[in-house]
Amino acid sequence: MNKSRSLKTEILLRLAIPLIFFMSIETVLSYFVTLHHVNVAYDRWLLDSARSLTEGIKMHEGTVFVELPPAALDIFKWDELDQTYFKIISEEKGMLAGDKFVPEPLTQAMNGVSPIYFNDDMYGEPVRVVSILIANGTQEKIFVHVAETLNKRRGMMMDILLADLIPQVVLVLLIGLYLLAGVKRGLQPLRVLADEIAQRTPRDLRPIPEQHVFLEVRALTDTINDLLERLAQAIVTQERFITNAAHQLRTPLAGLKLQAERALREQDVTAMKPALIHIQSCADRMSHLTTQLLILARSEPINGGYELRQLDLCALAKNTCMDWVPKALQRQMDLSFEGFEQPLYVQGDEVLLRELLANLLDNAICYGRDQGNIVVKVERHPVPRLIVEDDGPGIPDIETDRVFERFYRIPGSSGDGCGLGLAIVKEIADLHQARLELSSADETGGTRFELSFEAKQNVLDMLN
């Protein structure tokens, strides 16, 4: 339903269409039932009239004749609403009395003793006719046909149908009005709620009060409340993040300013050099921090700056390792890769997964031991896994949770990192619904990070 329609109209339509449909069926049915009963009742009278005429059929010396006194005829014809006509016919002699235009049924139908009723036209008007066969003791067949216009029957039909229909229509109207009033009353709390929410300031993310809300609407308010809660949390996190980021950027900026002033004070270029080296390292730090912040922003689900598609985890890990070999060599470290030639497909964002591995390698090189070993492994079973292991001092158990916090660095850590690397790793892992585990390497006691892709991602692997 793309066009929004009011609930009241919806209810009215849903109620009115079937009701009108069923009422029409009911009316048609009751028309036929009423017609049947009205005919049964008036046909009996019509038959009585026909029988009353038989008294005027006489026999004299074997000849049949009709003798109807005017008074008897008056009684026969007397009717306020309808015209009544008759015709008495002898099979042998033909017309004996009455009006020759009175319709007759087919003669074959007239063999039985029971009367025959049928509808026909007479003088351009519809009539109901009854025909009876009289046995007068001779072989001669005498037929009496009586026709009557339909005014009484129509009147009676109308009365019965209206008596049936009017209460039904009134009842339907009353039910409709009652339902509309009910819907209006039922929706009132929602209107109050909408007014209440409309008056809020953008920072007012309190949950919607649910005490006056109907159970059916509660599913909706629950969802909105849930969303409001998450939104409030996201805003708090964002605010904290911005404060931290600003703080982190201020330090190298202050360093830059200080060193620039120092350099400016020096006359001699050689004397400026230490300050310039400092400026360079401050700029490096700022550029690193800015890069980390941008990656973090990109890996936040709320920003949607990623695209998951099928990629070969093996190739990705191998290529990234190759990029980091020169940096490992600077510390005389041995960076090795253990994987396989066949592709191992997972659903992922290539840039973000590279960043994840880059941060783990950067840490391993930065915090591992000189001339140490770093191993990157890709495993296929039971689920696709990426493992980065070093033989450095490792991360103490009490720090294993905190190291994933944004801007947290273990006190006394070497290098000038900004404490965002592992937060980025965690964020990217979550985005891929992958499980991230930090433990200590079995043999060396160094650090081991393991990223396992969920079983549902495995389906792709099996298909390939």
Residue numbers of the site for ligand ATP (CB under 6 A)?
A: 292, 359, 363-364, 367, 390, 392-393, 395, 403, 409-410, 413, 417-423, 447
Residue placing its CB nearer to Mg ion in the complex, 140 or 362: 362
Q: From its phi and psi, is residue 206 left (phi > 0), alpha (psi between -120 and 50) or beta?
A: beta
Instruction: State the DSSP H helix or E strand holding residue 456, giving kind and residue range, or none if neither.
Output: helix 455-463
Q: Environment class of residue 331 by beta-carbon count within 10 Å: exposed (0-12), middle (13-18) or buried (19+)? A: middle
Which ranges of 55-150 does DSSP label H, i.e. alpha helix?
Answer: 70-77
248 binds Mg ion (CB under 5 A): no
Question: Of these partners, Mg ion, ligand ATP, none, which one is at the site of residue 392 (CB under 5 to 8 Å by kind)?
Answer: ligand ATP
CB of 409 to Mg ion, least distance (A): 8
> What is the CA angle 318-322-323, rounded to 5?
120
Q: What backbone torsions phi and psi does residue 349 show, to the nearest 5 degrees?
A: -95, 120
Are 359 and 436 contacting, i.e. CB atoms less than 8 angstroms apart? Answer: no
Positions in 17-46 near Mg ion (CB under 5 A): none
Please give the residue whose beta carbon sits closest to Mg ion in the complex. 421
Residue placing its CB nearer to ligand ATP in the complex, 56 or 417: 417
Are 27 and 161 contacting, i.e. CB atoms less than 8 angstroms apart? Answer: yes
CB of 458 to ligand ATP, least distance (A): 28
Residue placing its CB nearer to ligand ATP in the complex, 76 or 407: 407
Site string for Mg ion, 347-366 (x = CB under 5 A): ----------------x---
Rule CB under 5 A: choose which of 352, 421, 436, 447 binds Mg ion.
421
User: With CB under 5 A, what is the number of residues at the site for Mg ion?
Assistant: 3
Residue with tokens 């629950």: 222
Residue placing its CB nearer to ligand ATP in the complex, 244 or 413: 413
Q: Report the half-sphere exposure of 276 (CA within 13 A, side-chain side).
A: 8
417 binds Mg ion (CB under 5 A): yes
Which range of residues in 156-164, 306-314, 330-338, 414-422 is near Mg ion by CB under 5 A? 414-422
Instruction: State the DSSP H helix or E strand holding residue 436, giving kind and residue range, or none if neither.
Output: strand 435-440
Give the Cα separation of 119 and 94 in Å (integer): 23
Which ranges of 55-106 does DSSP label H, i.e. alpha helix?
Answer: 70-77
Positions in 189-218 near Mg ion (CB under 5 A): none
CB of 451 to ligand ATP, least distance (A): 14
Residue with tokens 């001779």: 138
**Helices 215-265 + 151-198 axis angle, to 10:** 30
Which range of residues in 33-41, 298-306, 411-419, 434-442 is near Mg ion by CB under 5 A? 411-419
Are 425 and 436 contacting, i.e. CB atoms less than 8 angstroms apart? Answer: yes
Residue placing its CB nearer to Mg ion in the complex, 223 or 291: 291
Residue placing its CB nearer to ligand ATP in the complex, 10 or 338: 338
Question: Of these partners, Mg ion, ligand ATP, none, which one is at the site of residue 372 (CB under 5 to 8 Å by kind)?
Answer: none
In sequence order, what DSSP letters do the residues of 321-381 get, joined into one string? HHHHHHHHHHTT-EEEEE--SS--EEEE-HHHHHHHHHHHHHHHHHHS-TT-EEEEEEE-S
CB of 327 to Mg ion, least distance (A): 13
Which range of residues in 196-204, 385-393, 409-417, 440-448 is near Mg ion by CB under 5 A? 409-417
Question: Of these partners, Mg ion, ligand ATP, none, which one is at the site of residue 403 (CB under 5 to 8 Å by kind)?
Answer: ligand ATP
Amino acid in position 1 = M
Residue placing its CB nearer to ligand ATP in the complex, 423 or 436: 423
368 binds Mg ion (CB under 5 A): no
Residue placing its CB nearer to Mg ion in the complex, 248 or 363: 363
Question: Of these partners, Mg ion, ligand ATP, none, which one is at the site of residue 410 (CB under 5 to 8 Å by kind)?
Answer: ligand ATP
Are 427 and 300 contacting, i.e. CB atoms less than 8 angstroms apart? Answer: yes
CB of 379 to ligand ATP, least distance (A): 19
CB of 437 to ligand ATP, least distance (A): 14
Give the Cα separation of 427 and 296 in Å (integer): 8
Which of 126, 163, 159, 168 has the alpha carbon at shortest distance from 38? Answer: 159
Residue placing its CB nearer to Mg ion in the complex, 34 or 359: 359
Residue placing its CB nearer to ligand ATP in the complex, 98 or 446: 446
CB of 300 to ligand ATP, least distance (A): 16
Q: Which residues bind Mg ion (CB under 5 A)?
A: 363, 417, 421
